[in-house]
Amino acid sequence: MPMPPRRIAIVWLVLLGLLGGNILLAYAGLGIAAPAVHIVIAAAMAALVLLVFMELDRGASLFWVFAGAGFFWLAILFALTAADYLTRYNFAPTTGG
C-alpha cells in the first residue's frame, strides 16, 4: 500500500482533531458564545479543505475570484437579511414573529 503524501495526511488529522474539539466544546457549556465558537472552528475546517484539499492555495487567481464570488454574494444575502430581521421590533426573538 503506498503511503499518502505527508501534507494532506497532516491536514486530515488536523481536521479530525478540530472535529473532536468542536464536539468536546459543545459539551463544555460555553453558553452564549457556543454558536460563534462552533462556527469559527467549522470555518477553519472549511478553509483547510478549500486551501489544501481543493488546492486553492496553488490555484490560478481566477479560481480565487470564482470561489470568492459565491461567498461575497452569500455575505450580501446574510447582511441584507440581518438588516431586516435585526431591525424590526415585531420580529423580536421573544415574540417569535
C-alpha–C-alpha distance, residues 53 and 47, integer Å: 10
Does 36 bind other proteins (CB under 8 A)? Our answer is no
In the complex, minimum distance from the CB of residue 77 to other proteins, in angstroms, rounded to a whole number? 6
From the list 21, 61, 73, 90, which residue makes contact with other proteins (rule: CB under 8 A)?
73
C-alpha–C-alpha distance, residues 13 and 26, integer Å: 20
C-alpha–C-alpha distance, residues 80 and 76, integer Å: 6
Does 21 bind other proteins (CB under 8 A)? Our answer is no
Does 91 bind other proteins (CB under 8 A)? Our answer is yes
Cell 484539499: give the residue. Answer: 53
Does 74 bind other proteins (CB under 8 A)? Our answer is yes
Cα–Cα distances in angstroms (integers) from residue 81 to residues 25, 64, 88, 92, in the given order = 29, 26, 11, 14
Site residues (vs other proteins, CB under 8 A): 2, 4-5, 8-9, 11-12, 15-16, 19, 22-23, 26-31, 34-35, 38-39, 41-42, 45-46, 49-50, 52-55, 59-60, 62-63, 66-67, 69-71, 73-74, 77-78, 81, 85-86, 91, 93, 96-97
